[in-house]
Amino acid sequence: MKLSRGRHIFIIIILILLADQILKFWIKTNMALGEEFRILGDWFIIHFVENNGMAFGFEFAGEYGKMFLSIFRIIAVTAIGWYLAIQVKKDHPFGFLVSVALIFTGALGNIIDSVFYGMIFDHSYGQVATFLPEGGGYGTFLHGKVVDMFYFPIITGTYPDWFPFWGGQELIFFRPVFNIADSSITIGIFAILLFYRHQFDHPTEPSTTDGEVIIGEHINEDGLEKEE
């Protein structure tokens, strides 16, 4: 049975979301905060960190800032999901729909952390977190921390003393630690910017895929062409 484009998109969303959450669950239940192990030498490391803020470990100020960010994420992912549900019925390139789905899935993956992880895990400071601890989690609803683990310090060294602002300081590229959800968002955004910007220029017609045929107004109820 041939799957529709909508079902293909749904499968992509589920697979990425599962990969993101399974890896985060494994990290939380097998590593203490700050622990790491090397995958490929010194430039691909699994390094467990948590953050209260946005993608790639950037922070957002205070507890109220955290709550605001969680609520904003929920609103944003709802809007993206609504947009995707409408666009999948139109005649967009499949790659464009996949790109939007990547953004949606990445946002949803990090929302799950922010909304629920504080209630279902205890803290990871100096210990491996427990799933569903008896005494409750480390936070409340909307106050969970996002789990990050991918670290690529490909270039390390020291900035020259003459370098503006960072002269003499440690140089690490790529410094931010991120997760599958962050990668999904980034890939989706760059794909749209590079290949699919024109999809926002003109409205598209409903798709005629999956054997559906749109009947024009020049066909009458008996299937015969109307005379002009």
Tens-digit pLDDT string for the chain (228 aa): 567 888 999 999 999 999 999 999 999 999 999 999 999 988 899 999 998 765 554 555 556 667 787 888 899 999 999 999 999 988 889 999 999 999 999 999 999 999 999 999 999 999 999 999 998 999 989 889 999 999 998 888 898 888 888 888 888 878 899 999 999 999 999 999 999 888 777 655 565 544 443 334 444 545 454 544
In the prediction, which pLDDT does 164 show?
85
- Which is the catalytic residue, given 122, 182, 210, 222? 182
Residue 221 lies in a domain: no
Residue 27 lies in a domain: yes
Active-site annotation holds for 201 = no
The C-alpha atoms of residue 84 and residue 78 are separated, in whole angstroms, by 10
Active-site annotation holds for 113 = no
Residue 29 lies in a domain: yes
Q: Which two tokens stand for residue 61?
A: 């100020």
Number of domains observed in the structure of the chain: 1
The C-alpha atoms of residue 5 and residue 214 are separated, in whole angstroms, by 17
Residue 185 lies in a domain: yes
- Which is the catalytic residue, given 91, 148, 210, 222? 148
Percentages helix, strand, coil for the chain, rounded to the nearest 5? 45, 15, 40
In the prediction, which pLDDT does 41 show?
85
Residue 150 lies in a domain: yes
Q: Is 129 helix (H, G, I), strand (E, B) or coil?
A: coil
Residue 15 lies in a domain: yes
Enter the DSSP assignment of 128: B
The domain containing residue 125 runs over which residues?
5-200
Residue 225 lies in a domain: no
